[in-house]
Structure 1
Amino acid sequence: MTTTDAATPGIRVIRVSAAVILDELGRLLLVRKAGTTAFMQPGGKPERGERPDETLSRELAEELGVRIDAATLRPLGVFEAAAANEPGFVVVADVFAADIGDQEPRPAAEIVELTWATHADASRLEIAPLAREHFLPA
């Protein structure tokens, strides 16, 4: 969902739900969408009437083939950062911790690549500001 922030005229906002998914080594799962260069957290924009946790559950299934019940997602808060692929926009994300268990994420839909990353990987990868500033493990 794209809106203009009424509190700050001229700021264009993209509202999304995003996941923090860590592997057994503590690395963060990041994805890259077709036609983009930056890796970001899995997730996406809500459909009309969806709660943020429902959005994320749907997006994880569509984009990675990972099935997670929305009720099992753990809310981490609302975070914002500059949009990686849309200049002049700010991303406002409802972020949830998601445990995927032994499910193996695989790129699907618009996702063309995925990687598991730590803060040390930021020097070799283009990483979206939301993930880089708030969620990359040390």
Structure 2
Amino acid sequence: MPVITVSAIAFLRADGRVLTVRKRGTSAYMLPGGKPEAGETALATAVREVREELGIRVSPEQLESLGTFETRAANEAGHALRATVFLARGDVAPVAQAEIDDLRWEDPAAASPGSAPLNVEHVFPVLERRAAEAR
């Protein structure tokens, strides 16, 4: 099975909601991010992609590694996904641009219909565990 490699950022607001986006021509809501360019690190990819897709400027120092996860790709049937995910805390003002058609803030404790497998199977459970540990 072909593997798609991406980097993404989970933007976590103070109310616990996470920013998700839907790309043009797709139905699944996923974390903002994308595929690396030649020679680009996972961190650099994530920073570049959110700037291009949402107009969010984030510095690498603001990001915390959540991990690298493997699951099935949300929008490419027959493909696996390997995603390096970073966490950014705080308020951001995303603007859907480039290939982004829509965005929404999701509660990791109650994933909305249409959430990507990466979120439902990996990222949201990690965020929920961290929130429980912090209580």
- TM category, shorter: 0.7 to 0.9
Are positions 1:131 and 2:119 aligned together?
Answer: yes
Q: Which sections of structure 2, spanning at least 5 residues, go unmatched?
A: 129-135
Local SS of the residue matching 1:24: coil
The residue number in structure 2 matching 1:87 is: 77
How many equivalent pairs are there?
125
The residue number in structure 2 matching 1:40 is: 30
TM-score, normalized by length of structure 1?
A: 0.85
Distance in 2 (alpha carbons) for counterparts of 1:131 and 1:105: 19
Q: Any conservation in 1 of the 2:67–2:85 contact (CA below 8 Å)? A: yes
Counterpart selection for 1:108 from 85, 97, 111: 97
The residue number in structure 2 matching 1:14 is: 4
Q: Any conservation in 2 of the 1:53–1:71 contact (CA below 8 Å)? A: no
Distance in 1 (alpha carbons) for counterparts of 2:11 and 2:76: 24
Q: Any conservation in 1 of the 2:24–2:101 contact (CA below 8 Å)? A: yes
Aligned-residue offset at 1:70: 2.1
The residue number in structure 1 matching 2:68 is: 78
Q: Which sections of structure 1, spanning at least 5 residues, go unmatched?
A: 1-10
Aligned-residue offset at 1:19: 1.0
Distance in 1 (alpha carbons) for counterparts of 2:66 and 2:82: 13
Structure number with the higher helix fraction is 2
Local SS of the residue matching 2:74: coil
TM-score, normalized by length of structure 2?
A: 0.86
The residue number in structure 1 matching 2:44 is: 54
Distance in 2 (alpha carbons) for counterparts of 1:71 and 1:23: 18
Distance in 1 (alpha carbons) for counterparts of 2:18 and 2:92: 15
Local SS of the residue matching 1:84: coil
